[in-house]
Amino acid sequence: MEFIDFKRIVSGISIGKQLPDAIYVHRSAFENLPSSLSALTKRVGAALKIPDDKWNIAKFGKRDFKITFLNYPNFDTYAYPTLHECFTVDLSKLSLRKADYSDSDNPPILHRKETFVASSHPQWATFKEVTLEGEAAGLFENTRSIGFKRNWEKLIREKGLSLDTAGRLVENPSTLPIKMGVGSSIPEVEIQRHKTAIDRNKLSQPMQILARHEYLSGDYSVLDYGCGKGDDLRELEAHGIDACGWDPVHHPEGNLINSDIVNLGFVLNVIEDKSERDETLRNAWLFAEKILVASVMIAGDSVVSQFTPYRDGVLTSRNTFQKYYSQGEFRGYIERTLDESPIAVGQGIFLVFKDKMEEQNFLLERQHVRRDWLQRTERLPRIESSAPKQRKDFLEKNPELFMHFWETCLELGRVPANDEFELSDQVRRIAGSHAKAFEAMRNKNEGDLFDEASSKRREDLLVYFALSLFSKRKPRTQLP
C-alpha cells in the first residue's frame, strides 16, 4: 500500500478515537475498518513478529505513513488503563521503534475508553459510564493534567477523590483540594497553559542552534518533549529526520521514546508548580541518550514588574504563567536538578550532555574555525623522462577522490586516520596508504598551504585545551 492510499483510507475511518494527527482503534473494532487497512496492520505486525498478546490498540497516522501498536494489558479490567509498551512502525523508512513503560512509575494512561471501541462492544456502556463519572468530577476540564499516571492521581486527590481496585472514582474526604497559591496570597487560579503554544513559520531557536551545530544532519534521532502545535516536528520529519514529539495538550497521542537528542523548548517557564517543573526536567533528561536541549524565557526586573506576581513567577493577562529566569539562574537550576554541568549556546538555551565524549567533541568543534582552503597554486610537473608514472597516473585517474582526501588533510591539519576518511579503503587500494597519498598530493600542490592549515588547526586545539582548564580536567577516556 502506498502512502497516498493509506492517508486516504485513514481519513475516511469513522470509528475509533479521533485526534488531529491520528486515529486510535481497539483491536475488537477491526471488523469495522476497511479490509485493506486491517489486513495491512496484521501483516506488518506478523512481519515484525509483534505477538498478538503484545498489542490491543492500533494508532494510524493521518499525516505520516506510520502504524503504532500499543499494549494496554488492563484495558478491559481497569477504568484508566496504563500503557506497558508500544511499537511504532514507519512504513516509509521501514523502521521500528519500541518504547517500554512496564517498569515506569509514571506511564501514560488512557481515558474515554468507549471512543476506542465499537458501540456493539459488550462493555461499551460501562466504559461510557466511567467517562461520565470523570466529567461530573471535573477531571477532564484541563487535559494537560491527565496524560500521565502521577499527575492524573494528583488531580484526583485534589478533587477529594481516590480510585478503587478497578480504577473507579470513590470519595476520599481526607483529601482536600488546594485553595491557595504556594507562597502567594493570591487565590489559586486556573492556569491556561494551552494558550502558551505559538504558531511558527520557521524552526524554533533551540532547533536552529542544533542545526548550526550539525545535529540535524539525520544522524541523530530527536524527541520534542512538549512540542506544542508540532511545527518543529513537522519540519524535521519533512527533512527525513527520525523525530517524534509529545505534548500534554496539543499532541497527547505522541510517543515518548528514548532519543539521541531531547528538546525541552520553552516548557519549564510555563509550569506554575515547581515540583512538576522539576519532574518535567528530570523526565526529559531520562529520555535523552546523548543530549538534552533545555530553554526558557530570559527577562530582567523591568519586564517581570509589569505582571502580577504568582508563586515564583507571574500571571499574564491571558491567565498563563511565566517563570522568567536570568541566564545564571537557569544554569544553576539545571545544575541543582540534574547534577550536571550545562553549556550555554544561546540566551536561555543550554545543552546538557549525557554522552561525555559527545560533549568534548562539541567543545572541540566549537573552537574549530571553519576555513575555506581553496587551492591557490599548483606545482609544475617535473620533467623526468625516466621517472615512473605510477604516482601521476593514480592522481590523474582519480582526481575527485584524491582532491577530497587532500581537503580532509587541510581540514584536520594532518593526515587522517583510516577511520576519519570515509573513502579510506579506496585510497589505500589505489595509493597503498594514506601517507603515500598525502605525499603525492603535497608534491602536486603548494606545500605552504598545508603548513598554514596545520598551524591554524593547532591554534584551534590550544584554545580548546586552554578553555578546558576553567573546568574540572576531563579524563583521557572522555576526550575525542
Residue ranges per structural domain of the chain: 3-141, 195-354, 390-466
Q: What is the pLDDT of residue 175?
A: 43
Which cell numbers in the block locate residue 369?
574555525
**Can you give the pLDDT at residue 385?**
42
- Pairing of β 161-163 and β 57-61: unpaired
Determine the pLDDT at residue 28. 93
* 135's grid cell: 466529567
Nearest Cα neighbor of 191 from 314, 33, 43, 330 is: 314
- For every one of its 480 residues, what pLDDT tens digit does the chain have, with 9 covering 90 and above? 888 899 999 989 989 998 888 899 999 999 999 999 999 999 999 998 888 888 999 999 988 899 999 999 999 999 999 999 999 998 988 888 888 888 888 888 999 999 999 999 999 999 999 999 988 888 887 776 688 888 888 888 888 888 888 888 887 654 444 333 434 444 555 655 555 555 556 789 999 999 988 899 888 999 999 998 888 998 898 888 999 999 888 888 888 899 999 999 999 999 988 889 999 999 999 999 999 999 999 888 777 878 888 888 888 877 788 899 988 899 999 999 998 989 988 889 999 999 988 998 888 777 665 555 554 445 444 444 444 445 557 888 888 888 889 888 888 889 998 878 888 888 888 888 999 999 888 888 866 788 888 888 888 888 888 887 777 666 777 777
Q: Which pTM was predicted?
A: 0.50
The side-by-side arrangement of strands in the sheet containing 349-353 is: 243-246, 222-225, 259-265, 288-295, 349-353, 343-346
Q: How many residues does the chain have?
A: 480
CATH 3.40.50.300 fits 195-354, yes or no: no
> 225 forms bridges with which residues in the sheet?
246
